[in-house]
């Protein structure tokens, strides 16, 4: 009897750690061309459209995917044993965000019930943008999340990280549009001169040469874009730095 009791409790104690450390679950990966997964149901339709638009333009221009993901809590995905940063890294790798040869991608993860957020960069960024990510987290995401404006925080962060991914850094204060008035006026004059020369001289003028040269550039740019292959999920991995925050 005592022997059976001993065997029972030995088996229980040995299996307990494995029950606690069960594998975490992840949201279902979206199809290519969709860059938002709102499992926490905290984003409006308009906010999701705005996030998708920013990420779509970034991907078309640079082939760098940027995903925004919300989950209610790590508990809901059997990941209570992980930090928000660790779960974001595992989610990034599980989905295979970005291309394996470049490893350039961005994941924004928000867990409102945990009051935690994470920006995770692909390994290809090699911790180069940690300071920028911390600034985005501190100045754009957390202040909005404290007001429960999750959509505003994520959209503002997406625009800022779009700039970071393009190598432009975090955008600073906006320049008033009035300062661009002289440039707009000069551009208008150039357009009028261009149209006038094109209609007056036809193929013999400088405007036709400029038009042909511009068309050639557009052709090569479009051809290069069409040659690009691979979607948002092509075996990439995280671990390239980022920033975590809580509110």
- pLDDT, tens digit, 9 for 90 and up, residues 75-96: 999 999 999 999 999 999 999 9
Residue 5 reports pLDDT greater than 50: no
Do strands 66-70 and 36-38 pair parallel, antiparallel, or not at all (unpaired)? parallel
Residue 21 reports pLDDT greater than 70: no
Highest mean pLDDT: which range of 84-93, 204-213, 214-223: 84-93
Residue pair 95/185 in contact (Cβ under 8 Å)? The answer is no
How much is the pLDDT for 195?
76
**Backbone φ, ψ for residue 170 (5° rounding):** -75, 125
Residue 126 reports pLDDT greater than 70: yes
Question: Cα torsion at 25, 54, 165, 234 (round to 10°)?
Answer: 50
Model confidence, pTM:
0.69
How much is the pLDDT for 229?
44
Span 32-87, pLDDT tens digits: 899 999 999 999 999 999 999 999 999 999 999 999 999 999 999 999 999 999 99
Gap between the Cα atoms of 86 and 166, Å rounded? 26
Burial environment of residue 181 by CB neighbours within 10 A (0 to 12, 13 to 18, 19 or more): exposed
Do strands 238-246 and 116-122 pair parallel, antiparallel, or not at all (unpaired)? antiparallel
How much is the pLDDT for 247?
95
158's enclosing H/E stretch is helix 150-165
Question: Please, what is the average pLDDT of the chain?
Answer: 82
Gap between the Cα atoms of 187 and 99, Å rounded? 40
18's enclosing H/E stretch is helix 2-20
For the segment 210-238, the average pLDDT, to the nearest whole number, is 57
Lowest mean pLDDT among 99-103, 109-113, 147-151, 242-246: 99-103
How much is the pLDDT for 104?
94
Residue 219 reports pLDDT greater than 60: no
Gap between the Cα atoms of 42 and 49, Å rounded? 14
Buried b (16+ CB within 10 A) or exposed e, 70-79: bbeebebbeb
DSSP symbols for 144-157:
HHHTT-HHHHHHHH
């Amino acid at each position: 009897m005592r022997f059976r009791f001993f065997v029972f409790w030995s088996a229980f104690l040995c299996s307990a750690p494995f029950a606690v450390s069960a594998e975490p679950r992840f949201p279902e990966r979206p199809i290519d061309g969709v860059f938002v997964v709102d499992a926490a149901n905290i984003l409006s339709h308009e906010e999701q459209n705005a996030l998708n638009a920013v990420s779509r333009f970034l991907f078309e221009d640079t082939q760098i995917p940027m995903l925004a993901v919300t989950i209610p809590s790590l508990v809901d995905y059997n990941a209570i044993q992980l930090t928000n940063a660790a779960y974001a890294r595992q989610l990034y790798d599980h989905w295979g965000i970005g291309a394996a040869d470049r490893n350039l991608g961005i994941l924004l993860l928000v867990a409102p019930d945990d009051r935690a957020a994470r920006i995770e960069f692909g390994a290809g960024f090699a911790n180069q943008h940690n300071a920028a990510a911390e600034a985005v987290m501190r100045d754009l995401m957390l202040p909005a999340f404290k007001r429960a404006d999750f959509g505003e925080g994520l959209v503002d962060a997406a625009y800022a990280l779009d700039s970071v991914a393009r190598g432009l850094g975090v955008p600073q204060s906006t320049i008033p549009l009035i300062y661009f008035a002289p440039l707009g006026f000069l551009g208008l004059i150039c357009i009028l001169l261009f149209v006038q020369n094109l209609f007056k001289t036809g193929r013999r003028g400088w405007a036709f040469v400029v038009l042909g040269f511009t068309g050639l550039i557009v052709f090569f740019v479009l051809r290069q874009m069409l040659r690009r292959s691979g979607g948002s999920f092509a075996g990439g991995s995280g671990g390239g730095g980022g920033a975590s925050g809580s509110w």
